[in-house]
Amino acid sequence: MTIPDYLKPGDKVCLVSPSGRIQPQKINSACHLLEKEGFSVSVGKNVFKQHFQFAGTDNQRLEDLQNALDDPECKAIFCTRGGYGAIRLAEQINFIKFLNNPKWLIGFSDITILHALLQNKGICSIHGAMCNYYTDGDNPTRSFIELIKTLKGKKNSIEFPSVPENRTGSSAGQLTGGNLSLIYSLLGTPFEEKTDGKILFIEDLSEYLYHIDRMMYSLKLSEKLKNLKGLVVGQMTKLIDNKSHFGQNVAEIILNSVKEYDYPVCFNYPAGHVKLNLPLKLGAEHSLSITSNKVLFREI
């Protein structure tokens, strides 16, 4: 996998909105923080547009994204938010200039679509916080601080307490994944995730438990879970049960879908639709070690 150049003071970075619309003050706040880090910030001309739930029409959102991908001076593309809309652009994106001059792309949730495209092109990208997660009052969040450290070249390494649901073991492999619903939506398309020999990360928000079960079974039936090196489950936030209860919690659902396999599985990784949304360098090699007491997950 190709790792783009890490950022340094004076580098140009671009903000684009490939999916849902966002409040202008969130973008302005993000620009201020990035400028304080020493970056030259360029905001896509359509970022503040609105078209129903989208940040502009498909053509407007594509124009900003394509311009940033093609810009030889741009060193990183910050997606302002998720929501929905990136999949509507997937077929039209031209990567010719980008592949000659790769740069970081940052985001999560709906931006999983763009991460999948880059994974298939052999380019690393960063699953990380977007504008809504950059500030807490007047202060930068830990999510933002850790994201900037990663963009400047820090290798991610985190140790956190194990939980009883974890499946112990050790492994290593390239990291892939993102939002479970978006990974599921790409099955059977030219852009679906390639998971063999990799560590898969998943997270999700506001899904019914039976939806999680259906998506995990679909990944299993399509053999996306069969040859993993490990499974890292981030935050599964605001999940919903039926009035007629499903009968399993999210950990039980996920463990049931991988019960035939022997790779390590950890839950409660601090990334997803939560305040503490730590960056993950997709495409980079990672090691995963899970004991009954702790989880150590680090870039190698």
Nearest one of 229, 231, 217, 230 to 187, comparing CA atoms:
217
For CATH 3.40.50.10740, list the domain ranges present in the chain. Answer: 12-151
For CATH 3.50.30.60, list the domain ranges present in the chain. Answer: 157-299
**Can you spell out the DSSP letters for 162-198?**
--TT-B-EEEEEEEEEEEHHHHHHTTTSTT----TTE
Q: Strand 125-127 vs strand 104-107: parallel, antiparallel, or unpaired? A: parallel
Burial of 71 (0-12, 13-18, 19+ CB in 10 A): middle
User: What does the alpha-carbon distance between residue 203 and residue 215 come to, in Å, rounded to a whole number?
Assistant: 12
Token digits of residue 22: 């966002």
Does position 18 have pLDDT exceeding 90, yes or no? yes
Which tens digits make up the pLDDT trace of 143-192? 999 999 999 999 999 999 999 999 999 999 999 999 999 999 999 999 99
Which tens digits make up the pLDDT trace of 208-224? 999 999 999 999 999 99
CATH architecture for segment(s) 157-299: 3-Layer(bba) Sandwich (3.50)
The whole model's pTM is what?
0.97
**What pLDDT is attached to residue 138?**
83
Q: Which CATH number fits domain 12-151: 3.40.50.10540, 3.30.565.60, 3.40.50.10740, 3.30.420.40?
A: 3.40.50.10740
Q: What percent of the chain has pLDDT over 90?
A: 99
Q: Give helix then strand counts, H and E, for the chain.
A: 8, 15
User: What does the alpha-carbon distance between residue 181 and residue 112 come to, in Å, rounded to a whole number?
Assistant: 9
**pLDDT-derived band of residue 230, with 50, 70 and 90 as boundaries?**
very high
Q: What percent of the chain has pLDDT over 70?
A: 100
SS3 assignment, position 119: helix
**What pLDDT is attached to residue 260?**
97
Which tens digits make up the pLDDT trace of 71-114? 999 999 999 999 999 999 999 999 999 999 999 999 999 999 99
Alpha helices in 135-242 (DSSP H): 142-151, 180-185, 209-221
**pLDDT-derived band of residue 27, with 50, 70 and 90 as boundaries?**
very high
Which tens digits make up the pLDDT trace of 236-262? 999 999 999 999 999 999 999 999 999
Q: Strand 169-179 vs strand 285-290: parallel, antiparallel, or unpaired? A: antiparallel
**What pLDDT is attached to residue 17?**
98
Does position 137 have pLDDT exceeding 90, yes or no? no
